[in-house]
């Protein structure tokens, strides 16, 4: 079990390290577009990633308050901004059951769990089959890259008008 702020910060750092490549996939020479950390799909996807990795890194035993602190700390690390307003915006989207947030959350969680080899019968998911075909091989890294393109990059580029 993990208790205390040092352990929460350590866990948030591990999660941020796992999630940072997703930010890199959609960043360009000018960084992230304005409004990135307010966009419902982005918030949902990032929450799915954070919660997925938190589970993988044994954060399930944390109290709800400590999980919240990890989420805030992770958003802060990922964004370089204060994490609390980002986390609060994500919670508003969740409470309102914003469809883009919910879809992003599901996709982000799925990719995190797939990357950690925690998806039972992963090959039965159409998106995995398509990713393997697009990758041209079945290596984990190649499939994750294709899944990230399908579930994250193309969606964010379209929503945020980011060039390829």
pLDDT digits (tens, 9 = 90+) for 61-70: 899 999 999 9
Instruction: Give domain limits for the chain.
Output: 5-119
- CB of 135 within 8 A of CB of 144? no
**Band of pLDDT at residue 59, cut at 50, 70 and 90:** confident
> Smallest Cα–Cα separation from 26: which of 153, 161, 155, 151?
153
The span from the CA of 145 to the CA of 132, in Å, is 10
Phi, psi of 28 (to 5 degrees): -125, -165
**What would the pLDDT profile of 30-53 be if each residue is shown by its tens digit?**
688 889 999 999 999 999 999 999
The span from the CA of 86 to the CA of 43, in Å, is 8
Structure tokens at 7: 């352990």
């Amino acid at each position: 079990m993990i208790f205390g702020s040092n352990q929460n910060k350590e866990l948030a750092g591990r999660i941020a390290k796992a999630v940072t490549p997703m930010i890199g996939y959609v960043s360009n020479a000018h960084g992230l577009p304005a409004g990135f950390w307010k966009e419902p799909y982005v918030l949902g996807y990032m929450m799915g990633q954070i919660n997925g990795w938190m589970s993988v890194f044994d954060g399930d035993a944390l109290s709800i308050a400590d999980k919240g602190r990890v989420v805030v700390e992770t958003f802060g690390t990922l964004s370089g901004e204060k994490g609390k307003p980002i986390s609060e915006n994500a919670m508003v989207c969740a409470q309102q059951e914003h469809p883009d947030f919910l879809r992003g959350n599901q996709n982000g969680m799925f990719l995190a769990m797939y990357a950690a080899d925690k998806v039972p019968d992963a090959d039965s998911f159409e998106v995995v089959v398509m990713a393997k075909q697009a990758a041209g091989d079945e290596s984990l890294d190649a499939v994750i890259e294709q899944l990230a393109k399908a579930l994250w990059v193309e969606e964010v580029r379209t929503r945020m008008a980011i060039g390829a």
